Structure 1
């Protein structure tokens, strides 16, 4: 059983097979398959051209000999075409954009890391309250963004912060899941599967039954309205099999598309991790991935520390920046405690998060792929502790909100 976890498929044999597949794809040769990339591009073109064709056909049916019987199917095709149009990714509303004037040191660190990786610097740097980080393209103009969780940033030392930025910026190069063609198609197919999800239909069905029951209880004499509602329910029952058919069709198309896209996407992430390790140091990159893997334990420790009081009064616990200053040491202690069990944790993470619909290998597999080879560059000397301390000053308002949420959460 899934035990309520969405990332686990549900059958033990299938979970084991998906885990082996994730290991095989992430550990394969880094040279991409031209045939697979060509097939992926062809499928993406067919999906996007099909969406525009359906949209144009619906517009033609709505306008030819208006008004006519073709108006209804035309409207349906118009709606269907709009739903299947390419969907650019958008930044979440809760993410706070950090302007260059307000965070000079943070932007300088990102610019220097991007130059070392030989990738373009992001247009947008945003912060949020997750214990995570990501990067990508947002909006119709496909503006590059880097999004960092304030809790994750607060527990990292200067060298680890450089490694975190390098890990995310390195993915701006060569990832097929982020291109304008293939990336938008994957999001379109995922959206269509969600729209026709049976769970949403069940919620509608439950609300419909509640409305009918409340109407009859309020006025038993309004039998005519009850019959009208029954006809509406009958139409819904007739449409439901069609919705299930469309949901299954889009699900199969998405599964086939990701079967083509996933191997190259996994290899691109592993290659990006290797480039980040070459710039920021392999031990630092491994420690960042391990910190993200231990997110639940880290957040528990941070919450306990934020709520703790200092009886001696030596540390001003009312000042959030003073509280956050001790978090890298706490995070290092958590990593040291979990080090003996890290191989088992990586194994469990691969089994838990391996999925045919993933475009990023599990964190456990990424951690396994990085060897303990010495870094080509002296990462500790390349990171600037003074610059890292300046970023803490720039993020002081966010630290204050983070500590408050941890104390009250």
Structure 2
């Protein structure tokens, strides 16, 4: 939602011309890596004698460093398996069916003010939910959040794609290899710096083109994901989710204040082992006190200054306007009080663990 994580290329649906071009460019980048690997194996087969073997090893080393890398389980956060949170997973599965895809295989809960989807390895889907964001959302807004994230698997959002994302890393690695020798003093080093200039410019240009193409595709994907969120949770809930994003700075300020208060201790403050107690309730309470006119003020400021979550997201006020100007949608599913309570119980352990880590290490580890 805020900074979408890496995922595979969805279900292959809905990719526009920018997405197709980004995907084609990414495949071309990976084909160079494949050619290096094939040439390395060919040289190792004995072509060229000892020099060929050495050159083959060098080419294989380059190809290995440029290879696409699969996403791994994050080191931070609390992992919730399906048998540990069956009600939450059931809700995610239902949301997935509404948006036209399957659910996820693993849920990770952490202390970031963020949410996103990813793919572990080749097939296993992962949803990462930041509790600071989850806890300040209303029940239907949480469903809208799930719908928005799962929709990225459907919309062909190339910036969420393994192929495109790994092409970024490959081009960045090439760009690093073509970095000039800063302390060059000899004529050979100076000639080397001069010779690599075209290659460095080429990799810079390819990175810029890939970024431009994938950003356009990603922004389109955000509009489609917003619409999917409205289809699942209602237009009002999807708009409410976007309104929360407008005050995300207030979420961070409130969270830092609560964390610092608990870290400092003092009379009436919980002991260190219980320092995380009540953190989420206090955060939700402080955000609930934001008056309606403040949201309206933030919307007007966003229209003037072009507020957006990041460069890959369209301006928030345009996303909001797009939802409001299209036909209003009712909720396809909801969370009744009992189900919401059961999901809350499933998250209780993660809520306590993440709160303790935040109080101990601070937000963003500061």
The range that moved more, 252-261 or 239-248, is 239-248
Within the candidate set 298, 304, 307, 2:251 is matched to: 298
Give the structure-1-normalised TM-score. Answer: 0.70
1:400 equivalent to 2:352? Answer yes
Q: Structure 2 residue aligned with 1:162, among 121, 124, 143?
A: 143
Change (3 A) 1:251 1:385: farther
TM-superposed deviation, 1:144: 1.7
Deviation digits for residues 198-230 of structure 1, max 9, x if unmatched?
A: 69969x96xxx9xxxxxxxxxxxxxxxxxxxx9
In structure 2, the residue matched to 1:43 is 25
In structure 2, C-alpha distance between the alignment counterparts of 1:44 and 1:174, rounded to whole Å = 18
- Does residue 188 (structure 1) correspond to residue 170 (structure 2)? The answer is no
Equivalent residue for 2:280, pick from 321, 324, 335: 324
C-alpha distance after superposition, 1:377-397 (max 9, x if no partner): 247x82223222222222223
Equivalence for 1:80:
62
Deviation, 1:56, is: 0.6
User: Cα distance 1:41–1:351, how it changes in 2: closer, same or farther (>3 A)?
Assistant: closer
How far off is 1:274 after superposition?
0.6
Deviation per residue, 1:67-95 (Å, 9 max, x gap): 42234433332223223333333342224
Q: Is the 8 A contact 1:114 1:121 kept in 2?
A: yes
**The one of 283, 296, 301 aligned to 1:344:** 301
Residue 92 of structure 1: aligned partner = 74
1: distance between equivalents of 2:277 and 2:348?
6
Q: What is the CA–CA distance in structure 2 between the aligned matches of 1:42 and 1:312, rounded to whole Å?
A: 61
Preserved contact between residue 16 and residue 217 of structure 2 (Cα < 8 Å): yes
Deviation at 1:193, TM superposition (A): 4.1
Q: 1:390 aligns with which of 342, 351, 356?
A: 342
Cα distance change of structure 1 residues 295 and 66 upon mapping to structure 2, 3 Å threshold: same
1:334 matched to 2:320? The reply is no
| Deviation at residue 132 of structure 1 after TM alignment | 0.3
CA-CA distance at 1:149 after TM superposition: 0.7
Please give the secondary structure, in 2, of the residue aligned with 1:85.
Answer: coil
Count of aligned positions:
342
TM-score scaled by structure 2? 0.77
Q: Map residues 61-140 of structure 1 onto 2, 5 A cutoff.
A: 61-65=43-47, 67-139=49-121
Correspondence 1:250 to 2:203:
yes
From 229, 235, 238, give the equivalent of 1:285.
Answer: 238
Instruction: Report if the CA contact (8 A) 1:123-1:144 is conserved.
Output: yes
Q: Secondary structure at the match of 2:289?
A: helix
In the alignment, is the contact (CA less than 8 A) between 2:82 and 2:105 conserved in 1? no
Instruction: Kindly provide the CA deviation profile for residues 85-111 of structure 1, in whole angstroms up to 9, marking residues without a partner as x.
Output: 333333422243211222122112212
CA displacement, residues 308-357 of structure 1 (integer Å, 9 cap, x when unaligned): 799999xxx95856442353342233373343222323553557944xxx
| Alignment counterpart, residue 59 of structure 1, candidates 34, 37, 41 | 41
SS of equivalent to 1:121 = coil
Shift of 1:191: 1.6
**Structure 2: unaligned runs, 5 residues or longer:** 4-13
- Name whichever of 367-376 and 127-136 sits farther off: 367-376
Deviations 1:15-58 (A, max 9, x none): xxxxxxxxxxxxxxxx8655x55544443433333321121112
Quick check: 279-288 or 128-137, which moved more?
Answer: 279-288
